Amino acid sequence: MRKGIILAGGTGSRLFPATLPVCKQLLPVYDKPLIYYPLSVLMLAGIRDILVISTPHDLPLIRRLLGDGERLGVRFAYAEQARPAGLADAFRVGRDFIGDDAVTLVLGDNIFVGGHLSEMLAEAAAQTGGATVFLSRVGDPQRYGVAELDSDGRIRSIEEKPATPKSNWAVTGLYYYDNAVVDIAAALTPSARGELEITDINNRYIERGALKGIVLGRGYAWMDVGTHEALLQAGNFISAIENRQDIRIACVEEVAWRMGFIDTAQLAALAVPLAASDYGRYLESLVDEAGEADAP
């Protein structure tokens, strides 16, 4: 069994003053809250047990939005991270939740878009041991954990925010691990920044020869929405795709329905309170299409 964690902590200071009253994961990216995007990634991977980690201040608002997950055919648990302590701290906070299972961590401010994304997620989930990370080519690798690849495309090392990057391949905010990650995280010591670094975990897997990298190539978009400009660009990007193709990206109700977590009647019920919005009318159109498909 594989469980999921959404890390939605931090202060969002780069987005002040917009994030003074509310965490960035609840800010809208075009037509839905930012947290819907990483949530949809876990759901597309078939993950139905999900822990949301956030601050004591923000967790009640996130819980108000997501609830217990029953309406989407999933189960949400919640845990507090009192202060920013690094991405790897998620496995300490979530240790009891993870138990003896494998786990996927996704950052609450990351957006992934691509036509065959679900197949790539399934490929990562099919790994029975070790770890898998997703790589995306970026123009400013100094801002990220950067992977050094050998001539066969295997990851040789990962360096956090290097002054002189060895490549342009950034490690995105989506990580698949076997259960060993729990003990690896427990044994970490804080970096010079005073945080538990996810890069240290990944390098432990490299030392074991157990880290796989999946490249997000042409046709895939990865966005780290941590600044005002990035938030605006992401909203414009999502708007352009949705309005051009008449689809919805990261529509969690649709994902739940297409993954078989809920049936058409449940989807129709979810559309009712949203009927005044384009988002709700899109859900209604899915219900209508399903009815037409079932008609004799």
What is the reported pTM? 0.96
Report the pLDDT value the prediction gives residue 288, as an integer from 0 to 100.
Answer: 95
Helix, strand, coil tally for the chain in percent (to 5): 40, 25, 35
Quick one: 213 and 117 in the same domain?
yes
Quick one: 21 and 106 in the same domain?
yes
Token readout for 114 is 């691509």
Quick one: 282 and 182 in the same domain?
no
Quick one: 271 and 159 in the same domain?
no
Report the pLDDT value the prediction gives residue 292, as an integer from 0 to 100.
Answer: 65
Quick one: 161 and 288 in the same domain?
no
Quick one: 228 and 268 in the same domain?
no
Residue 248, in any domain of the structure: no
Residue 133, in any domain of the structure: yes
Q: How far apart are CA 32 and CA 266, in angstroms?
A: 20
**Domain total in the chain:** 2
Question: Domain range spanning residue 273?
Answer: 263-296
What number of H helices and E strands is found in the chain? 11, 13
Quick one: 239 and 282 in the same domain?
no
Q: How far apart are CA 265 and CA 257, in angstroms?
A: 10
Q: CB burial class (10 A; 0-12, 13-18, 19+) of residue 128?
A: exposed
Please report, for the domain that includes residue 55, its CATH number: 3.90.550.10
Token readout for 43 is 């759901």
Report the pLDDT value the prediction gives residue 293, as an integer from 0 to 100.
Answer: 66
pLDDT averages per 10-residue partition of the chain, 296 residues: 94 93 96 98 97 96 98 98 93 98 97 92 88 95 92 87 94 98 97 92 95 92 95 98 96 98 98 98 96 64
